[in-house]
């Protein structure tokens, strides 16, 4: 007998998706890693692109670091495990394989924006007609604030010397448009690896090639790609990069950041020199003449935050055991599954959800931008159901199924909630006024 109406068909479709999700979870070779993380009870967590969940071993690592401080006091700088004096370099060594870099090209240091300042102050050297920086209008605002200030510090006008490449659709960037902005007035380019709102993954290799053909130094903000996407920074010949560790890398709120400097630049003096960028073999000579470490470590400024950095040690060990290539494959499968459900079942009346993230796997990072006119209130309804997304204006529900701890069953739970919130108009219970943190 033929069924009538769309509701039974929708139920059949979700049943098939649910059956498929169970199969995929059974076949998932990475499913055991989920047990290594603290997941809030009865919660589906889809916000790992803003703040990753804590590894269970992170608390032990923090207690260990505290114990060393308690028992060794200042002796921990050399007797800690690892010695605090070399902690930034040790974490850089562990991070480097994920970024396609040599161990001495990566170091833990500062915060994302501090690292931007440290690197841009080094590599932005306007001269003659080459005075401009190329960025993009979809970039995370903090990067733009910092670039404007770097231009002002050089005595130039950001309105004339900061070129923001336009988006054709308000969601994504076209690499050809970016390359077209690379002319002989440009001194430096700074671009995101993955766009924070739409999740578009830029072709970093192509952009490096285009920039270098025009003698332009180029760097990347990898905050939304590090830990989600394999990189080959050295192979691509990128000049520099920086990223945070509290998103996909699960270092914890405010955990320290990382930076990358291509070894061909090791002989350069950092634009912002500081105590921990000094040659470690002579750091305590207390010379007033700065001697750079001669590695990426030369771009450190201040003392590493030992306690907050300690939680990164178990997280990076988990990544080493899982393998970034395997994690990428699962991430793509999770985001593809989510987009397939939304396209197939939730894009038509009365739901009207749409996808703002590229479908092409080579152009997609680790999260999905689900768009809806009521995105803010839908996010509040999801959180009430203990499904944790985040919101980005004007109409984006960001969903990040993180390969280390998300399941395909989680995707089903999210999709069913998105459907039910519209079916019963649940979002109408929430105020359209946004909170300070979204």
The token duo for 271 is: 């634009």
- Do residues 112 and 252 make contact, with C-beta atoms less than 8 angstroms apart? no
Q: Which one of the listed residues 398, 408, 410, 427 is annotated catalytic?
A: 398
- Is residue 5 predicted with pLDDT exceeding 50? no
> How do residues 189-216 score in pLDDT, each as one tens digit?
999 999 999 999 999 999 999 999 999 9
145: CB partners within 8 A, 6+ apart: none
Closest CA to 391 of 370, 418, 360: 370
Closest CA to 36 of 66, 59, 13: 59
Mean model confidence pLDDT for the chain: 96
Distance CA 240, CA 163 (A): 19
Distance CA 95, CA 317 (A): 10
* Residue 434: pLDDT band with limits 50, 70, 90: confident
Q: Which one of the listed residues 45, 85, 182, 246 is annotated catalytic?
A: 246
Question: Strands across the sheet with 368-371, in order?
Answer: 354-355, 368-371, 396-399, 390-392
3-state helix, strand, coil in the chain (%, to 5): 45, 15, 40
pLDDT of residue 433: 87
Among this protein's residues, is 140 annotated catalytic?
Answer: yes
Distance CA 32, CA 49 (A): 21
- Do residues 164 and 202 make contact, with C-beta atoms less than 8 angstroms apart? no
Q: Which one of the listed residues 13, 64, 140, 290 is annotated catalytic?
A: 140
The token duo for 156 is: 């130039």
Q: Which one of the listed residues 93, 247, 377, 419 is annotated catalytic?
A: 247
Q: Which one of the listed residues 104, 143, 221, 410 is annotated catalytic?
A: 221
pLDDT of residue 2: 39
> How do residues 292-331 score in pLDDT, each as one tens digit?
999 999 999 999 999 999 999 999 999 999 999 999 999 9
Distance CA 146, CA 143 (A): 5
The token duo for 253 is: 């709120």
Among this protein's residues, is 221 annotated catalytic?
Answer: yes
pLDDT of residue 326: 98
Mean pLDDT of 248-271: 98
Mean pLDDT of 17-42: 97
Mean pLDDT of 353-372: 98
pLDDT of residue 129: 98
């Amino acid at each position: 007998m033929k069924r009538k109406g769309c509701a039974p068909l929708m139920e059949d479709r979700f049943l098939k998706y649910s059956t498929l999700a169970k199969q995929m979870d059974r076949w998932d070779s990475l499913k055991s890693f989920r047990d290594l993380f603290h997941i809030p009870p009865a919660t589906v967590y889809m916000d790992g692109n803003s703040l990753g969940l804590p590894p269970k071993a992170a608390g032990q690592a923090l207690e260990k670091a505290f114990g060393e401080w308690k028992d060794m006091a200042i002796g921990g700088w050399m007797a800690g495990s690892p010695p605090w004096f070399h902690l930034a370099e040790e974490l850089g060594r562990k991070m480097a394989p994920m970024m396609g870099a040599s161990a001495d090209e990566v170091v833990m240091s500062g915060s994302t924006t501090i690292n931007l300042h440290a690197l841009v102050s080094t590599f932005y050297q306007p001269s003659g007609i080459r005075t401009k920086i190329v960025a993009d209008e979809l970039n995370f605002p903090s990067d733009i604030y910092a670039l404007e200030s770097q231009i002002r510090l050089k005595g130039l006008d950001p309105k004339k010397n900061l070129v923001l490449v336009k988006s054709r659709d308000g969601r994504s960037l076209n690499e050809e448009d970016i390359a077209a902005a690379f002319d002989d007035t440009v001194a430096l380019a700074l671009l995101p690896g993955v766009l924070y709102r739409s999740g578009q993954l830029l072709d970093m290799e192509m952009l490096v090639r285009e920039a270098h053909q025009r003698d332009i130094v180029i760097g990347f903000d990898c905050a939304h790609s590090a830990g989600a996407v394999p990189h080959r920074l050295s192979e691509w010949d990128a000049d520099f990069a920086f990223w945070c560790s509290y998103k996909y890398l699960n270092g914890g709120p405010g955990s320290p950041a990382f930076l990358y400097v291509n070894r061909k630049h090791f002989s350069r003096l950092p634009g912002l020199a500081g105590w921990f960028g000094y040659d470690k073999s002579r750091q305590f000579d207390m010379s007033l003449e700065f001697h750079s470490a001669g590695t990426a470590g030369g771009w450190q400024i201040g003392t590493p935050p030992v306690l907050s950095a300690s939680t990164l040690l178990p997280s990076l060990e988990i990544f080493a055991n899982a393998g970034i290539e395997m994690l990428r494959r699962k991430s793509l499968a999770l985001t593809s599954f989510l987009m397939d459900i939304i396209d197939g079942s939730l894009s038509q009346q009365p739901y009207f959800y749409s996808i703002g993230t590229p479908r092409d796997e080579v152009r997609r990072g680790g999260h999905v931008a689900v768009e809806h006119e009521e995105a803010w209130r839908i996010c509040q309804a999801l959180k009430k159901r203990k499904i944790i997304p985040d919101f980005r204006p004007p109409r984006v529900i960001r969903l990040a199924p993180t390969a280390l701890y998300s399941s395909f069953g989680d995707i089903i739970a999210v999709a069913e909630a998105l459907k039910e919130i519209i079916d019963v108009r649940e979002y109408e219970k929430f105020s359209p006024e946004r909170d300070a943190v979204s």
